[in-house]
Chain A
Amino acid sequence: MKNRIRFMFAWHKIVLNFKSFISSILVMTISLILIAFSLFFYHGTQYVENQYDHTLTKGMSRSGIFGFTSHPYRDYDIMNELYNSKEIESIGSTTLGGNDFECFSELRAIQSGNASDYVNSISGFLEILWINKTLLGFSELKLDTGNMITDQEINDGVMYMYLGSAYKDKVELGTIYEESNSKFQVQGFLERGSTWIDPDTINGIYVTDANNVLELENSVIVADDYIHVGGLFFSISDGTTRDEAVKAITDIADKHEREITVGFLDDMYKSENEDTRLLISYIVRIMAVVVFSSLVMISCLQIVAILNDRRTYGILYSIGANEKDIGAIIIYENIIRAIFSFLLCSIGILPIVHNWYGGDILWSPFKEIVLQKVLPVVFISLIPIAIISCLAPLIFLHRTTPSQLIGGKND
């Protein structure tokens, strides 16, 4: 029997036994959604960690935050001292803020023109990413043109600006903007694809936050020395251990009689998301149980369907079909079930992503997690589910004679 004919039989059987088909689809879809859910949880946490690790020059384990317990008065001294110590690679604060200087009108026009791409755009203001000069090495900021100056000495009161790639053909290198005794000079244009850590990280890192990293296409970076927030990011030098770095920081803080708290980003991430991570580890284990249970349930449903329809198989044998034909018909039915279940699962995962990250489905995590990691694994897991769940019915048919299937009297 040709495959086309076998498929036709399989499709026709599905149409005839539509209620049974729907039941098995529901079982399969729910199982797949649970598998997808588990995978999404797992990869969702990995996504956050990966975002930080890809952005941070030293990675999460060698980058941290130390916070002052009082207003950052005289903290320039501490910051400069730490920057000059061999244990610390980069240090400083970073924040996002709006600026309404008239001199920035040109930049504002360019930035607001691309507002749909610029997640943190503030209407009527130029959004500036303030970064201490001593912190510029915290992320791998690479310049397409220009010069990255990290010297902490202020030069003629000029603050250096680094513009995203969207400004490159529209603003000249070296352009100066002046207003209210402030002077800004464009010192360089960032390479396409540059990223920076979200300054809100200073308040915590959460698995449900997909906006941990800022893309800098439309950003305006101003490198300054002013400590904007009551905490500093830092990264440690190569060859320095975490304990040595902590000791260096606390020694300097003690020297200046300041009370501080010090923590590395990976530890912060783990402690802030301990419950979620524990839940995820259990969910991943439950996934294995779900896969096994779905195999059993689908096999049972298939056996019931075959028992209800055994007369048809007996007739097929009597007209010349063989075991290969019957087996192929059953497998084709399962493949059709699997395809429908996969499509329903793919739709079903969308509200999960939506609710996990809140608000709109953010394209980047959806594409990276769901399309590249979750759905391919779910699809591959369908193959054993579809094939293995056929085994019991096929064994039953193999062991039953055609006359038993048709169910004639034994006289």
Chain B
Amino acid sequence: MIKLENVTKIYKNKATSTTALRGISLSIERGEFVSIVGTSGCGKTTLLNIIGCMDTLTDGKYFYDDVCVSDLSVKEQHEFRKEHIGFVFQHFELMHSYTVYENVEMPLLARNVKKPDRKKKVNSYLEMVGILDLAGKLPSHLSGGQQQRCAIARALAAETELIIADEPTGAIDSRTSAGIMELLTNLNEKGKTVIIVTHDINIAKQCNRIIEIEDGRLVNS
């Protein structure tokens, strides 16, 4: 499903350049539940952003099935992301001025889903993550765990086969983290390919496969 060949990412500014990824090559199959682990600053979020087309690579190739994603134009990458990838961010990244319902509805609006279908889907995703009763609330009125569930529901609403989660338990307590991981595991069991980034090895062990990165290099896949 996903194949990275010798992927390198260098961040340049006027004074310095920083190599975040050094020749990463790996592949991820459809239906896997993968965690990418490493210490802070090792390049795991950068790798996730490249897989999710939220950032560009400096060198190497990125394939998704038969498509060379790294060769797509910016416009094509937006469309690719829309079709294939759902995101969950560490700090939830919900729209604070919209309700839970409206946040989950957004990917469906971006995909021109009709109103009756939208309502049905939003409610089903909210129910799936266990926060249907919070639909009318603003994110600021939710706990960390509830906000992360909302973010997961929003990613589900994108109806993509791949879900990418950057430190999904990073901003919440351990008890709530367990609930979130259970949710992600369920999604994987239902056929979603899930890739998470975490610095917590205990969280990583709950996945089927662990990819270790150290100083921008692949240590263990």
Q: Name A residues whose Cβ lies closer than 8 Å to a Cβ of B.
A: 1-2, 5, 12, 16, 311-312, 314-323, 325, 398, 401-404, 406, 408-411
Please state if B82 and A320 are interface contacts (CB–CB under 8 Å).
Answer: yes
Tell me, in angstroms, the Cα distance from A190 to B106 when the chains sit together.
70
Name the prevailing secondary structure of the A interface residues: helix
12 A-B contact pairs sorted by A residue (CB < 8 Å): A315-B93, A316-B110, A318-B87, A319-B154, A320-B111, A322-B75, A322-B79, A322-B82, A323-B74, A398-B74, A401-B56, A411-B41
Q: CB-nearest residue of chain B relative to A319?
A: B107
Instruction: Tell me the minimal C-beta distance from A165 to chain B in angstroms.
Output: 62
Please state if B45 and A318 are interface contacts (CB–CB under 8 Å).
Answer: no
Please state if B154 and A16 are interface contacts (CB–CB under 8 Å).
Answer: no
Q: CB-nearest residue of chain A relative to B83?
A: A320
Known: A410-B46, A411-B41, A411-B42. 11 other contacts (CB 8 A): A1-B110, A311-B93, A315-B93, A318-B52, A320-B81, A323-B74, A401-B49, A408-B90, A409-B45, A410-B18, A411-B45
Q: Which one of A312, A314, A404, A410 has the highest number of Cβ atoms from chain B below 10 Å of its Cβ?
A: A410
Please state if A410 and B20 are interface contacts (CB–CB under 8 Å).
Answer: yes
Please state if A312 and B95 are interface contacts (CB–CB under 8 Å).
Answer: yes
Please state if A323 and B112 are interface contacts (CB–CB under 8 Å).
Answer: no
Please state if B40 and A411 are interface contacts (CB–CB under 8 Å).
Answer: yes
Please state if A318 and B112 are interface contacts (CB–CB under 8 Å).
Answer: no
By the criterion of a CB under 8 Å from any partner CB, how many residues of chain B are at the interface?
37
Residues of the A chain whose Cβ atoms lie less than 8 Å from the Cβ of B46: 410-411
Tell me, in angstroms, the Cα distance from A406 to B87 when the chains sit together.
12
Please state if A325 and B90 are interface contacts (CB–CB under 8 Å).
Answer: no
Interface 0/1 of B132-156, CB less than 8 Å to A: 0000000000000000000000100
Please state if A320 and B56 are interface contacts (CB–CB under 8 Å).
Answer: no
Tell me, in angstroms, the Cα distance from A403 to B81 when the chains sit together.
13
Please state if B87 and A403 are interface contacts (CB–CB under 8 Å).
Answer: no
Please state if B110 and A320 are interface contacts (CB–CB under 8 Å).
Answer: yes
Residues of the B chain whose Cβ atoms lie less than 8 Å from the Cβ of A316: 106, 110
Q: A320-B110, A321-B110, A401-B56 are in contact. Are A408 and B89 (CB under 8 A)?
A: yes
Please state if A315 and B95 are interface contacts (CB–CB under 8 Å).
Answer: yes
Q: Which one of A312, A398, A403 has the highest number of Cβ atoms from chain B below 10 Å of its Cβ?
A: A403
Please state if A12 and B89 are interface contacts (CB–CB under 8 Å).
Answer: no
Residues of the A chain whose Cβ atoms lie less than 8 Å from the Cβ of B52: 318
Q: A398-B74, A411-B46 are in contact. Are A318 and B93 (CB under 8 A)?
A: yes
Tell me, in angstroms, the Cα distance from A104 to B106 when the chains sit together.
80
Interface residues of B in 8-47 (CB under 8 A from A): 11, 18, 20, 40-46
Interface 0/1 of B93-127, CB less than 8 Å to A: 10101000000001101111000000000000000
